[in-house]
C-alpha cells in the first residue's frame, strides 16, 4: 500500500540553524500539508500546498517557515532560523484531490532544537 | 471561543469490553469529523469519517456517532484487544475551510489483558 515517507526521522539542531524536513507524498496525490505536534499538545495545522503554491497557512507559519516542491516527488518544509519552541514532531500529509477527505500522514520527523 | 475537547483522562478497560471515547466541540460547524489512531512517536492513522448529515458509521469493531445538536461525536471499539491500546484523536473540518483539520488533544486508551 502506498505511503507517505518522511526524512529524517529525528533531527537535532542548534538554535538559529536552518533545517529542512523532507516528505515524499503518495505519488498521485496533489494536495500536501504540514502539521506539527509539540510533545503533549494537539496536532496543529501549519500549511497546505497545491499547484505549487500555498493554499492556506496558520499563524504559526511565519516568515521563518517556507515550503517547496522542488521536483515531482519531494515536498519540503524549511525553518530558516530555528528556535527552541520549534522542537516538535512534524508531520506531512497528502490527499489526491480536494473532494477526498482522508489525509494520509507520514511517520513524522522529530525536531529537537538545542 | 472555539474548542474541540476529548476525554482528558486516560481510559483503562478490560480486554473484551467496549471502549467509548468522546469528542465535543464548541462554535464550529463541522462539514465532517474524523477519528485517528496515534501510537507513540508515530503519525496519525485515519480510522473513520462521519459527515454532518450522518448519525452513525461502522467499520469492523469500530463505530462512530455524530450528534450535531449535542455537538458531540462518540467513538466505540467493541470487543477491545490489547493491540487497540493507543491515543485516539478526533479532528474536524470546519465548513468553508480549505481542508484544514482542527484537532483534539486525544484520549489515551489502555486495554488490559
Rg (CA), chain A: 13
- How far off is chain A from B70, nearest CA to CA, in Å? 23
What is the Cβ-side half-sphere exposure of residue B7, based on CA atoms within 13 angstroms? 16
Half-sphere exposure of B10 (CA within 13 A, CB side): 10
Contact B46 A103 (CB under 8 A): yes
Q: Residues A57-85: pLDDT tens digits?
A: 999 999 999 999 988 789 999 999 999 99
Instruction: Report the residue from A44, A105, A110 with minimal CB separation from B44.
Output: A105
Q: What is the pLDDT of residue B41?
A: 84
Of A30 and B88, the one with more pLDDT: B88
Contact A42 B103 (CB under 8 A): yes
Distance from CA of B104 to the nearest CA of A (A): 6
Rg (CA), chain B: 14
Which of B45, B99, B104 to probe the A interface (max A CBs under 10 A)? B99
Cell of B103: 484537532
Give per-residue pLDDT as tens, B54-70.
Answer: 999 999 999 999 999 99
A96 touches chain B (CB under 8 A): no
Amino acid at each position: 500500500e502506498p505511503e507517505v515517507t518522511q526524512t529524517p526521522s529525528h533531527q537535532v539542531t542548534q538554535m538559529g540553524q536552518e533545517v529542512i524536513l523532507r516528505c515524499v507524498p503518495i505519488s498521485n496525490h496533489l494536495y500536501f500539508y504540514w502539521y506539527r505536534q509539540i510533545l503533549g499538545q494537539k496536532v496543529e495545522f501549519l500549511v497546505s500546498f497545491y499547484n505549487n503554491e500555498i493554499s492556506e497557512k496558520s499563524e504559526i507559519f511565519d516568515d521563518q517557515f517556507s515550503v517547496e516542491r522542488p521536483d515531482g516527488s519531494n515536498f519540503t518544509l524549511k525553518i530558516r532560523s530555528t528556535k527552541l519552541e520549534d522542537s516538535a514532531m512534524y508531520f506531512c500529509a497528502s490527499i489526491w484531490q480536494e473532494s477526498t477527505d482522508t489525509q494520509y500522514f507520514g511517520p513524522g520527523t522529530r525536531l529537537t532544537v538545542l | 471561543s472555539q474548542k474541540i475537547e476529548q476525554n482528558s483522562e486516560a481510559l483503562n478497560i478490560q480486554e473484551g469490553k467496549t471502549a467509548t471515547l468522546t469528542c465535543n466541540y464548541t462554535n464550529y460547524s463541522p462539514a465532517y469529523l474524523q477519528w485517528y489512531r496515534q501510537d507513540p512517536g508515530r503519525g496519525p492513522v485515519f480510522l473513520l469519517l462521519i459527515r454532518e448529515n450522518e448519525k452513525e458509521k461502522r467499520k469492523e469493531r469500530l463505530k462512530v456517532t455524530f450528534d450535531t445538536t449535542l455537538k458531540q461525536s462518540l467513538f466505540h471499539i467493541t470487543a477491545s484487544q490489547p493491540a487497540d491500546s493507543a491515543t485516539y484523536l478526533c479532528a474536524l473540518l470546519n465548513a468553508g475551510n480549505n481542508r484544514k483539520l482542527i484537532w483534539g488533544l486525544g484520549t489515551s486508551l489502555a486495554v488490559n489483558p
